[in-house]
Amino acid sequence: MNQNPTTAREIVRVVDEAHRGHWSTVLASTVRLTRDLDLAEDCTQDAFVQALRTWPDGIPANQVGWLTTVARRLALDGLRRETTLRRKLPLLIEDPIGPGEVEQPTDPLRLVFTCCHPALARDSQVALTLRLICGLTTREVAAGLLISEATAAARITRAKKKIAAASIPYRIPADAELAARLDVVLTVVQLVYTAGHVAAGPELTRADLTGRAIELAELLVRLMPTEPEPQALLGLLLMTQARGDARVSEDGDLVLLADQDRKRWDVRLLAEGVSRATAALRQGQGQGHGRFALQAAIAGLHVTAPSWEETDWNQVVRMYDAMLLGWPSPIVALNRAAAHSLVPGADLSAVLAELDALGKESALKSYAYLPAARADVLARLGRKDEAVQAYDEAIGLTVNQTEERFLRRRRTALG
């Protein structure tokens, strides 16, 4: 045990950091024992509650080990009290484990593949993974997926019941099954990163979520080394992560890519990200590039340009056009319109018409970046009153306080 902390506030801070950093590891290890998602989730949560009560006497040096031991002990007690749980809510495990066994490095990946089983609806797969892997609240899951809290709760509950009823195994699929399961797993890993890249609350980012997503992407690359899409996703995440420090000024304000000091970018992460993205594009030659390879290529165009002004916007737009052909979605169309507005000599009135049409998409009704993009184009067209209204709409939709301050400054500047 470490030296006793001096305040209850310090204990809350330490436990909160442990929750952010170790939730999915503790949960995944507990699921291996219980074979039951609900029981494992309850016991994991109770372990963190016990930490709040116990750690005032001394914070353990190995926090994740302490939390895992407590969660698994609680699970064993629950299984002994009600042995029928194994019959009611089974998750079939193909390798034997004992009470003293510790978590395995692939446990989080097992949990992701379980949540992304093809027997589950796509929307339920994503919601359940965000809940279990990230430890996000139902409200945070809803915000990340642009749905209501009630809808998110229903999807999570439905997925858990389906896993129980179908006896879905808790394992990494056999090689023959991996290809069919890969796209949704990659999508979920990207959503985990996105949930941390722009987090709900006062801080712009949550390093625990972005770090967890990168770890999962690395595991997927090791699991499927010849597949280009895991390589592309990892490259995309690393290039995005490399710009992290430059996204926030010394005063804690948001800095857009256009205004970032590129000297603050992490050169090592950038080099690895570009290398992996390039390797993915080479692997995909002759068979068509996947959507993660295209996203990584767009990120590569941004980070290899000498400056924002010298970015090849025409090429960026062409990449988004390719994505719209193969994987159409309102968000891709929004990103394409935003890039189109930056092409030298672009018809901004035509871009605004594209954005107005996207306003009819139900998936973007609560998406703050749509009115923010409209506000930017309206301001550049000189239509300041309408731009102010669009900024007000974006401010009302954003869930991040750093972004909200940025949007308010943009709105004030118009006045």
Rounded Cα–Cα distance for residues 402 and 414 (Å): 19
Look at the chain and count its residues.
Answer: 415
Express as a percent the part of the chain with pLDDT over 70.
91
Q: What is the CATH number of the domain that holds 52?
A: 1.10.1740.10
Q: Is residue 303 part of a domain?
A: no
Residue 198 buriedness (CB in 10 A; 0-12 / 13-18 / 19+): buried
Mean pLDDT of 162-171: 81
Residues 6 or more apart from 92 whose CB is under 8 A from it? 35, 167, 168, 169, 170
Query: How far is residue 415's CA from residue 413's CA, in Å, rounded to a whole number?
Result: 5
From CA 34, how far away is CA 304, in angstroms rounded? 48
Least confident segment among 51-65, 134-148, 310-324: 134-148
In a domain, 121, yes or no: no
Residue type, 155: R
Q: Which of 91, 123, 143 is the last residue of a domain?
A: 91
Q: What is the CATH number of the domain that holds 333?
A: 1.25.40.10
Q: How many domains does the chain contain in total?
A: 2
In this prediction, residues 234-245 reach a mean pLDDT of 96
> Residue 71 sits in which domain range?
1-91
Mean pLDDT of 201-221: 88
Q: What is the pLDDT of residue 199?
A: 78
Q: Are 104 and 125 in contact (CB under 8 A)?
A: no
130: amino acid identity, one letter: L
- Distance between CA 246 and CA 235 in Å, rounded? 19
Instruction: Determine the pLDDT at residue 81.
Output: 67
- 237-263 burial, b at 16+ Cβ within 10 Å, e below that, comes to bbbbbbbbebbbeeeeebbeeeebeee
Q: Residues 103-120: pLDDT tens digits? A: 455 577 888 888 888 888
* Amino acid identity at 204: L
- Counting residues of the chain whose pLDDT is more than 90, the rounded percentage is 46
Residue-level pLDDT at 105: 52
Say how far apart CA 109 and CA 115 lie, in whole Å: 10
Burial of 224 (0-12, 13-18, 19+ CB in 10 A): middle
392 within domain boundaries: yes
| CA pair distance 290, 233, nearest whole angstrom | 10
Q: What is the pLDDT of residues 242-290, one digit of tens each?
A: 999 999 998 889 999 999 999 999 999 999 999 999 999 988 665 668 9
Residue 296 included in any domain: no
**Domain end marker among 91, 114, 147:** 91
CB 75 within 8 A of CB 30: yes
CA 340/CA 317 separation, integer angstroms: 6
User: End of a domain among 70, 91, 112?
Assistant: 91
Residue 68 lies in a domain: yes
Q: Write down the pTM of the prediction.
A: 0.79
Residue 224 placed within a domain: no
Residue 93 clears pLDDT 60, i.e. is over it: no
Q: Which amino acid is at 398?
A: T
Q: Work out the mean pLDDT of the chain and round it to a whole number.
A: 86
Give the model's pLDDT for residue 96. Answer: 40
Looking at the domain assignment, is residue 59 inside a domain?
A: yes
- Does a structural domain hold residue 174? no
Place 85 in a pLDDT band, splitting at 50, 70 and 90: very low
